[in-house]
Structure 1
Amino acid sequence: MVEVKISIIGAGSGTFSIGLVKDLCLTSNLEGSTVSFMDINRKRLDAVYAFCRKYADEIGIKLKIEKTMDRRESLKDADFVVNTAMVVGYAGYRAGWQIGFKYGYRFGGSYHIMHDEGFWINYHQFRLFESIIEDILDICPDAWYIQLANPVLAGITMIGRKYPNLKFVGLCHGYCGIFEIINVLGLDAKYVTYLIPGVNHFIWLTHFYYKGENAYPLLDEWIEKKAEKYWETAPPSSSLGPKAVDLYKRFGVFPIGDTCTPGGGSWPWWYHVDDETER
C-alpha cells in the first residue's frame, strides 16, 4: 500500500465528484493517502468535502482529506492531479445555446461541436488547462495530470503538442453505459466480456460476450420483445433508448454512453432536425 496525494481541481463538480469520492473511499490501497479538494466555489467545495469525510468515516477507510480554494496549495507535493473543472459553468453552455436558437440553429449534432466541445467554451477551457499545467510543472513536475474535464479529445491533443514532457492521460467514463445494458438484460456482470473502442463521446460495442458466447443475440431478442415497454419509462439519456437502438440497426454495432444520449453525444445530426424528430 503506497500513500499518495491526489489533488482534485474543480472538486465542486456535481457531474464527477460524487462518483469520484465513492471510488476513492472504496479503493482500499489508497488508505493513508491524502485527497486535496480544490474549487473556487466555497459552497460546492464544502459540500463535497463534507460528503467525502462522512462517506470515508462510515466505510472506515483512513484518508487525509483537505479542502482549499488555493490551487497552488492543493498542488503542493501532489502525485496525481485530477481536473474536473468547467470554467464557464453550465450558464456558459446555456448562453451559447440561446444565441444559436436566436439565429435558427438547433442544439444537436456532433458532441464535439455543439455541446461539451462548443467553440464558445473551448478557449476558456484551454486557457484553464494551460494554467493548471503550468502550475503543475512549477510545483509538482513529476505528478500525473488526469483530465476528466471536457473537451477531453481536443484538450489532450493540444496538451500533448504543447507540453511533451508532461505526464498526462485523458479519461472518459462513457464506457460505463455497458453496465446499464448488462443490468437490463439480466446478465451476471462477472461473466460478461466486452470491447468498446473509440474516442471521447464516440464509442461502440464491437465485442460483447456472455459466458464466452456472443451476447448480441440476447440484445436482439430484448429489442424485439421488450424494448417498446422499456421506453415507456426509460429516461431520455438511457443507453438503451430508441436512438441507440436505431443507430445499432443502421451500423450493426451498439453505441455506448454519450455516443447516443440526447444531452450528450447527440450524434448524428439527423435525429435533431426538428422537435418532432427529437420526440
Structure 2
Amino acid sequence: MDVKISVIGAGSAVFSLTLIRGLCTSNCLEGSTISLMDIDGRRLNAAYALLRRYAEELGVKLKVEKTMDRRESLRDADFVINTALAAGHHRLREGWEVARSLGYRHGGSLHVMHDEAFWINFYQFRLFESILEDVLDVCPDAWYVQLANPVLAGITYLGRKYPDAKIVGLCHGFMGAYHLADALGLERSRVSFEAIGVNHFIWLTSFRYDGEDAYPLVDEWLEREAPRYWERCPPSDPLGPKAFDLYRRLGLFPVGDTCTPGGGS
C-alpha cells in the first residue's frame, strides 16, 4: 500500500516513539511516504533520525520527510495523525501546580473532566480545529486521526462542527489487557487478546490464556479478589468497580480509558 501519512506533532516524546515502531513494523505500509511535522526543530530532527534509522535497520522501504510547515506536510496526504500538545508541557504543569495549591489531586492526561489544567483544553481545541481546517483545505479526502488528548472531547467537538470530515480518535488503551492479566497473575507472554474500539472506548472482545478463554478467570478474580483490590486502588482505577460494573452489564471488559474520566464515562 503506497500512501502518504502526515504526522503533526511528530516530536512528541510519548506518542511518536510508539508510532515510529508501528510504522516500521507494518508491512502493509511498504513504499509509503511518512511526513513528520513539528514546530520544534530539535525534536523534529530527533524523530526524523530515529524513524530513518529504524526503517533502515529493519529493511523497511519508507520515504521519510520532515518539515516545520504544516500545510506542506499535509499536501497529498491520505492520513493525518495528530499527536500535538499546544503550548507545551510547561503550561500543563503550571495548571497542575495551581490545582495542587487548591487541594486537588493530580489528574491524568489532559481531559476536560479531570481536576487538572482544564483551561489548556482551549489551546488544544483551537489547535485541533486549525489542523482539521487545513486538512479540509489541503487534503480533503484524508482521514484525520486524533491521538492527542483530550481524544473523546476533541473528536466530539470536531465531529459536531465538521460533520462531513473523515475523523476518528484512537489511543493505546489496548495495553489495558496486560494490566488485567497482571492482576489475575497471568504471564503476559501466554496471553492473547483482541481489543476493538475508537475514541477512548475500547472493549476486550477476546481474552485468552494458553489459547483458552480467560474470561472465566476474570469472573473468578471478580468474585474472590476484587473486593480487596478495590479497598486499596486509587480513584478511577482502570480495574476499579466501574470497569467491572460495565463488564457485568455488557459482557465485555473495558480496557484503557473506557471506564475512566479520560474516556468520558
* TM-score category, normalised to shorter length: 0.7 to 0.9
Question: CA-to-partner distance for each residue in 1:83-137, whole Å, 9 max, x for gaps?
Answer: 0001022212211121122223333499541268x52111111111111111112
Structure 2: state its 5+ residue gaps: 248-252
Are positions 1:52 and 2:69 aligned together? no
Distance 1:204 1:12, change over 3 A: same
Equivalent residue, structure 2, for 1:135: 134
Shift of 1:215: 1.7
Partner residue of 1:41? 40
Measured after TM superposition, the shift of residue 179 of structure 1 is 3.4
Deviation per CA, 1:111-169: give whole Å up to 9, x if none. 541268x5211111111111111111221111111111111111111111111221111
**Unaligned residue ranges in structure 1 (runs of 5+):** 229-235, 269-279
Give yes or no for contact 1:108–1:114 (8 Å, CA) kept in 2.
yes
Q: Which is worse superposed, 105-114 or 66-75?
A: 105-114
In the aligned structure 2, how far is the partner of 1:4 from the partner of 1:32? 8
The letter for the 2-side match of 1:185 is L
Superposed CA RMSD: 3.6
**Cross-structure match for 1:277:** none
Match of 2:86 in 1: 87
Q: Which amino acid aligns with 1:132?
A: I
Matches within 5 A, 1:186-201: 186=187, 188-190=190-192, 192=193, 200=200
Deviation, 1:63, is 0.5
Q: 1:115 to 1:208 in 2, by over 3 A?
A: farther
Give the alignment's TM-score, normalised by structure 1: 0.74
Q: TM-score, normalised by structure 2?
A: 0.78
Q: Give aligned-pair identity as a percent.
A: 54
| Alignment-derived partner of residue 163 in structure 1 | 162
1:15 equivalent in structure 2 = 14
Alpha-carbon offset, residue 206 of structure 1: 7.5
When structure 1 is superposed on structure 2, of 170-179 and 72-81 the one drifting more is: 170-179
2:110 aligned with 1:122: no
Structure 2 match to 1:70: 69
Change (3 A) 1:181 1:107: closer
Do 1:108 and 1:267's aligned partners in 2 also have CA atoms closer than 8 Å?
Answer: no
Contact 2:113 2:264 in 1 (8 A): no
When residues 126 and 243 of structure 1 are mapped into structure 2, their CA distance, relative to the original with a 3 A threshold, is: closer
**Which one-letter code corresponds to 1:113 in the other structure?**
M
